[in-house]
Amino acid sequence: MNRLAPWARGGHAPHEYPPSRDQQPLLVVDDLHTAFLTSRGRLSAVDGVSFTLEPGQTLGVVGESGSGKTVLARTIMGLLPRDGVEQSGSVVFEGHEIVGASPKALRPLWGARMSMVFQDPMTSLNPVMRIGRQITEPLRLHLGLDRAEAKATAISLLNQVGIPSPEERVAAYPGQLSGGMRQRVMIAIALACAPRLLLADEPTTGLDVTVQAQILDLLATLQDERNMAMILVTHDLGVVATRTDEIIVMYAGHVVERAPTPALFESMAMPYTEALLASTPRLAHPSHTRLTAIEGRPPDLVSPPPGCPFAPRCRYARDLCQRARPPLVAAEDPSHLYACWFPLGGRQGPPPPSGLDAADLSLNGSSPDNDPSPVGRSRS
């Protein structure tokens, strides 16, 4: 009988990782900055992001394209090239500093302790390598399994991710599988060595709703079984609403709101989060419900505006918003952070920086364009 990787026998939580974290979070991201040096200038893609993640927890990262959510995920993994990229701050994963570490130092972590599922399973899989081999590669490298053990483990993994007749599928090439099946193979590869942290970057974008539900259920089940932490990066508030413990909303490289998932949806503080939700069509709403679109586009990150990055598109924006960037602060609930001078729900905003007077805070400030009414502007 073939031996399996120890954890694969019971399909259960991995063996030899002791609860190494004695009160230490699994992942600590502190004041992380990532910028690209482009021909047009320095493009700040991630600008001062901090959070911690405990084992077994799921963090959702939500934002539009260009908000920096994918760059954040890649920075945490240490996947960005060094040339033309500036990084500062720190990412500590299981006691290892990721920022500034060499690929050689990170290689033992990749796949084994932290791994990633990418959006596009077609371009992330090797098209000329059988999928069995793509799964056994990390098993043999990191866990030192022999050929037969690795193959048996691969079959067990394909079975766990819901691929029918896995004994035959190990010999298939990616092109012979449907999009949903390819994404399952990606997940099997990512989970092969029982990592402690999984980064899933838009794992279901472009898939059918039925397949999306299957993949998200699968991730949740495997995560439960293995007490694995997950960062779920998506543009879809629907994907994170029922499947995360905490959500970070990103805009123009900044965290603009961060809260436990129920709190975020019950009492959002940041107008951007509200606008994102209002522009999402809902099954619960009658047909022909007018959507509240967010006019305009996110700012150019090479020359961002001096104030709040969302101010040019914000319907509540006042003079102060254009002039000073609001810090990320907590309200009465210390776990609910937001970066807004005039938060929603009657909350108190942070005190304005010195030098800006109280007139900037008043509703009838100097800006001619302050319409605090929540009614959307008409559009053509």
The answer to whether 39 contacts other proteins (rule: CB under 8 A) is: no
**Nearest-approach distance from CB 320 to other proteins, in angstroms:** 24
Of these, 9, 282, 306, 359, which contacts other proteins (CB under 8 A)?
282
Residue 182 Cβ vs other proteins, minimum distance, rounded to whole Å: 12
**Is 304 one of the binding residues for other proteins (CB under 8 A)?**
no
Sign of CA dihedral 105, 111, 114, 119: positive
284 forms part of the interface with other proteins (CB under 8 A): yes
How would DSSP label each residue in 98-127?
-TT--HHHHTTTBTTTEEEE-S-HHHHS-T
What is the C-alpha separation between 359 and 114, in angstroms, rounded?
Answer: 50
Using DSSP's 3-state secondary structure scheme, residue 341 falls into: coil
Asked if 208 touches other proteins (CB under 8 A), the answer is: yes
Q: What whole-number distance in Å separates Cα of residue 244 and Cα of residue 182?
A: 24
Size of the site for other proteins (CB under 8 A): 50
| Part of the chain binding other proteins (CB under 8 A), chosen from 89-97, 101-109, 202-210, 332-340 | 202-210
Shortest distance (Å) from residue 21 CB to other proteins: 27
| CA separation, residue 73 to residues 32, 34, 230 (Å) | 11, 11, 11
CB of 254 to other proteins, least distance (A): 17
Q: Based on the shown chain and the rule CB under 8 A, indicate whether residue 70 belongs to the binding site for other proteins.
A: no
Verify binding: residue 235, other proteins, rule CB under 8 A: yes
Closest distance to other proteins from the beta carbon of 277 (Å): 6
289 binds other proteins (CB under 8 A): yes
Least distance from C-beta 270 to other proteins, angstroms?
14
- Asked whether the CA dihedral 238, 29, 17, 197 is positive or negative, the reply is positive
CA atoms of 309 and 299, how far apart (whole Å): 7
Whole-angstrom distance, CA of residue 204 vs CA of residue 216: 8
Q: Three-class SS string for 51-90?
A: EEECCCCEEEEECCCCCCHHHHHHHHHCCCCCCCEEEEEE
Among 19, 22, 23, 65, binds other proteins (CB under 8 A): 65
Q: Which stretch binds other proteins (CB under 8 A): 43-51, 191-199, 288-296, 301-309?
A: 288-296
In 224-240, which positions are buried (b, 16+ CB within 10 angstroms) versus exposed (e)? ebbbbbbbbbbbebebb
* Using rule CB under 8 A, residue 223 touches other proteins: no
Cβ pair 186, 217 in contact under 8 A: no
Q: 172 to 201, contacts with other proteins by CB under 8 A?
A: 178-181
Residues that bind other proteins (CB under 8 A): 64-65, 164, 178-181, 208-214, 216-217, 235-239, 241-243, 261-262, 265, 275-277, 279-295, 297, 379-380
